[in-house]
Chains A and B, each alone.
Chain A
Amino acid sequence: MKTKTYKKTYFRVLDNIWGYAFVLIPIIGLVVFVVIPLCMSIYASFTAWPLGQKITSAKWVGLNNYITMFNTPLFWKSLGNTFFYMIGIPIGLVLSIIYAALMNRGTRYENVFRVIYYTPVITSTVAVSFIFQRMFMSDGGVVNNYLMALGIKNPPNWMSHPGYTKWVIIIMAVWKGLGSSIILYIAGMQGISRTYYEAAKIDGASWFYTFRKITIPLLMPVTFYLIVTGIIGGAQMYVEPRLIFTGNGPANSTFTTVIHLYDNTFRYSKAGYGSAVANILGIIVFIITAFQFYINGRRERYEETKTNN
């Protein structure tokens, strides 16, 4: 009896060791690349840490970095701009679902269109930015030349007026990201069982009604994924504004929170302050994402209850 218990315990321990051995690699990865940097970033945000010096020699300043940040108008401006750019997310979703529906009807050249619409995704952002600079040149750019040909005498000053600069970035971001959203939606649409559509057809439902009541609801997981990744990506907006507008844009209209973070950390050597900005941005994105998961969870529970009833 004693031997049996001993053996049982021995095998349980051995199993546990096997288990720990297998999860050790991702855990070490998580600790080294996420937990330690996160802790360092939190610690650094309470210090005056000049970049290039050892963090251990950084001077503790308490909440100073956070107080300075909340009293810096440029920080608030950058945060406002960052969230303004997210207008592009619903625009991109609507466009991509429409294009995906059009490219998923079994027409002859739909693969060609899929390639065409996916090309911007794999095109260098530098090259795309250069093209958009030329297209949106306030005077002599292709867009304004077309607008003038259409009879608009005073087309927008896209590159110099703060009311328009953000839209240049949004248009570019939507255009560049459309291809990958379309592919995801097409994959989602192809995963929807034909039986739903056949049943709807028998019931006499129109194409639009079917699209609204079957396609869109069943694509919700894809939409949810695109919104979450869109918000996380949008909060990290850096490259596009910096490439199209070499500075911060007129009246700092294209200045984003990540640019603020980068400038302070790498240009002004204020890594402590930069860490504070990074932490606040991280917290905001975390709250928004958690809220989205909560709403999505509620919606799914509601759908389940409705189906069960």
Chain B
Amino acid sequence: MKKFIPLLLVFLILTSVCAGCGNSEKTDVTTGTKEDKPVLNVSVFAQEHEQAMYREVISQFEQKFNCTVNFQVAGDQYWPELEAALTANAAPDVFYLGLGDIKRRVWADKIVALDDLLDVSSLDRIWPEALNLYKYDVETDKLGEGKIWALPKDFSAVSMTVNKAIIEKRRDEIEALVKDGTLPFFPEIDENGNLPVYTFTEFAILCKTLTFEDPTLPDTAGSKQVYGTHLWEDFCLQPFIWGAGGDYLNEDATRVLFDTPEFIEGYEGFAKIIEMGGSGLSTDEVTGYLKFLAGRCAYFPCGTWDVGAFQAIEDDESINPGKSWFDFDLAPWPISDRYSNLSIEERQDKWAGRVDSIGYCVSKQSKNQKLAAELAYVLSADEEVQRFLAKQGGQVPNIVSMAEGEYLSDDSYFPESRVVFVRMLQGQNGHRVPTSLTFNAIWHTEGFISGVDSVWSYYEGIDKGVKPMSVSEYCRSVQPKAQELLEQAIQDEAAINPNK
């Protein structure tokens, strides 16, 4: 007997290894429990307050559908872990889908179309602009058409935010500029509901006026120096390009447009703020964010997900008594100097900011696809979830009627000018993020962003170890390489496109 023990040991090890290497479809333990309840695995990333709300909704879902939902909140390695799970055919039933990932997930047969699993008429209440982002027609290879492959977790927008406390402190100086005609209007919504849309030069002048030493700031601000704005290309340049009538890519996303006059004009408008001194000597996002939170920056970009954090500072009487140094609201992005003769009404549709989304999709390997789709629908369009998230300042409601109705009219939502976000999502002032239109973003990050310090070095006069270049020089210099990288991305996409 004793001599068989080693053989048995070897056999056990080999069988257990083979079992571990087996196809998860055959050994899927997630499809049933002792009570034979269906089990769904959901993997997301969410903030603490969001998690509590999701758990509550999921608990109701479990009761209604007599199922078990494993709600997993991933850390900062969400995307690599998801890729690993997808590659190993062990993806959760419901997971996030980025806009740039739709095609390759469909081609790799990793996700299912939701049209066949849900009552399509029930999707009417979700923003059609957001739903269109998740449509893809496999046969014609066109995005925005065909079947729906995910439901939006959110439909986000990035406008500017303004610290009105700073504006108030400089009221006299700004009013003097309005009086002498340097600025066409005061930076606030007028009596007809028109947003204060400035041209690049006007905005630069305004930012310079808002750059001053404020002795009333608390010591916790770290410094008394206040700046008009803080901008960095990766996140803030796009609205300037769109505001000048330009774009990053041509219509079918096959040509990079960095060397076009409109693009250069938009970038020059952006650089003008640096040149005029309204932005401060730093190019990093973090410093800008910290300055804004400390009440030391008047204008800053603001995503729909940011307002909760901003509101928390505004409401904290112990650190911000009477909103003395932090009182935020939303504002539009500036537009081309070519529009300087337009009235405030005529300027309303000239500005644009980025709109984006992330969606819930259902794994092709899910044993409970219909149930998973139902859960995705609840997370995306349940009224209570949407109301809660919007009131927390995490997003604009995904339900159109709610966003255009109670979100605008009910004062328990914030900030005051949230109509800015709604107009962007309605499409009149929103523009899709260009990098989500291509197979990858390398043409933008490596082709454009990685060298922008040349421009900062030029305007700031600081040696950053790169050749200083004016905006037009820089844009023309990077165009060929960026175009090459875009073409490479197109080729990479074609290589895995089953239709080609």
Residues of A bordering B, CB below 8 Å: 14, 17-18, 20-21, 24-25, 28, 32, 48, 50-53, 57, 59, 74, 126, 133-134, 137-142, 145, 157, 159-163, 244-253, 262-264, 266-270
Contact = CB atoms under 8 A, between A and B. Distances in A.
B104 A139 contact: no
B450 A248 contact: yes
5 contacts: A52-B83, A53-B108, A134-B222, A161-B462, A250-B283
Contact of B291 (A20, A21, A140, A253): A140
Given A50-B492, A52-B87, A140-B291, 8 more contacts: A17-B7, A20-B10, A48-B492, A134-B222, A251-B466, A264-B442, A268-B440, A269-B440
A134 B287 CA distance: 8
A252 B86 CA distance: 32
A247 B285 contact: yes
A77 to B, nearest CB: 9
Contact of B294 (A14, A140, A264): A140
A50 B285 contact: no
B286 A21 contact: no
A250 B284 contact: yes
Nearest to A73: B450
A139 B453 contact: no
Contact of A267 (B296, B441, B457): B441
Contact of B223 (A140, A266, A269): A140
Nearest to A145: B222
B471 to A, nearest CB: 17
A253 B450 CA distance: 10
Contacts of A162: 453, 464-465
Contact of B282 (A139, A253, A262, A268): A139
A265 B28 CA distance: 29
A276 B299 CA distance: 43
Contacts of B453: 162, 250-252
B459 interface: no
A293 B464 CA distance: 38
B83 A17 contact: no
B11 to A, nearest CB: 10
A252 B284 contact: no
Contacts of A137: 222, 286-287, 290-291
A74 B448 CA distance: 12
Nearest to B493: A50
Given A48-B492, A266-B79, A268-B440, A138 B445 contact: no
A52 B439 contact: no
B171 interface: no
Nearest to A264: B442
A126 B17 CA distance: 37
Nearest to A246: B285
A134 B110 contact: no
B120 interface: no
Q: Which of B232, B441, B465 has most A Cβ within 10 Å?
A: B465
A24 B225 contact: no
A50 to B, nearest CB: 5
Given A140-B222, A160-B287, A247 B17 contact: no
A266 B222 contact: no
A25 B16 CA distance: 11
Interface string B83-102: 10011000000000000000
Nearest to B87: A52
A141 B222 contact: yes
Contact of A270 (B221, B291, B492): B492
Contacts of B3: 14
Contacts of B104: 50, 52-53, 269
A18 B9 CA distance: 9
A139 B225 contact: yes
A52 B492 contact: no
Interface string B1-13: 0010011011001
B73 interface: no
B496 A50 contact: yes
A269 B100 CA distance: 11
A164 B285 CA distance: 16
Nearest to A134: B290
Nearest to B101: A52
Contacts of B107: 53
10 closest Cβ pairs, A-B complex: A140-B222, A140-B223, A268-B440, A160-B282, A251-B453, A17-B6, A21-B6, A251-B464, A268-B442, A21-B9
Contacts of A32: 17
A18 B440 contact: no
B474 to A, nearest CB: 13
B270 interface: no
Interface in B439-460: 439-442, 445-446, 449-450, 453, 456-457
A52 B286 contact: no
B83 A266 contact: yes
Contact of B10 (A21, A74, A266): A21
B495 A28 contact: no
Contacts of B492: 48, 50, 269-270
Which of B108, B284, B449 is packed against the most chain A CB atoms within 10 Å? B284
Contacts of A269: 104, 439-440, 492
A124 B456 CA distance: 33
